[in-house]
Amino acid sequence: MPTELQTSEPLRVTEVEEANGWYKITTDGHPKTLKPNREEGGSAAGRFKLDGTRIIVQYAERNDKPNPHGGFYHDFYWYAAKPIPHEANGGGGDGITHVTQTRPATDPDEAWRIALSVGSERAVQLAPHLQPNQADFPFIWALSYEFAQRIYLTPPPSGPLAPLTAGGGAPGAYDDPGFPGESDDDIPF
């Protein structure tokens, strides 16, 4: 925890980025980059950025976290800010640049490789349950290929899925069908 808060010279917030709940505030003065210790600090910085308001920031300076390259990180933590009177430009929104994680679309060859891998895994898991004359490599490979085709070619659902119904009226694995003539009175305990 910082022992001493410092006050900046008047400055403007030039950028506020948010990625996975962490904020990074960039200014046109010193300190150049700040990290808020709470989400409210990021939101306030975003409003100041949109307004273009010159502010004075109360911050703490820390350089006690070791970095993997030797030495220590030199961080500035935003604690509070107040606008300099009569310098607001007005604006709306939150002023935060929200960074979203993206990845390239899956290549069809890669998607087929994944589907074949999953299909092969399912076929091998099913092998102990096959008839003895079916548990050979050519049959398991054909089964793998069939699973892969079904996985790869099945289109995604167009809307919400209907809930699965349990039982359906027929006896299932966990139903106790009982035996004819059996009653609970025959139990010895």
Contact indicator for 14, 24 with CB cutoff of 8 Å: no
* Structure confidence at residue 99 (pLDDT): 74
Range list of H helices, 7-165: 39-51, 108-126, 137-153
Q: Is the pTM here over 0.75, yes or no?
A: no
- What pLDDT was estimated at residue 73? 73
pLDDT of the residue at 121? 96
Residues 76 and 26 sit within 8 Å (Cβ to Cβ): no
CB 98 within 8 A of CB 126: no
Give the bridge partners for 12, in sequence order. 54
pLDDT per residue as tens, the chain (189 positions): 445 888 888 889 999 988 887 888 999 988 888 888 788 888 888 888 888 888 898 888 887 777 778 777 778 888 888 888 754 444 445 667 777 777 788 889 999 999 999 999 999 999 999 998 888 999 999 999 999 999 999 888 888 887 766 655 565 555 555 655 556 666 666
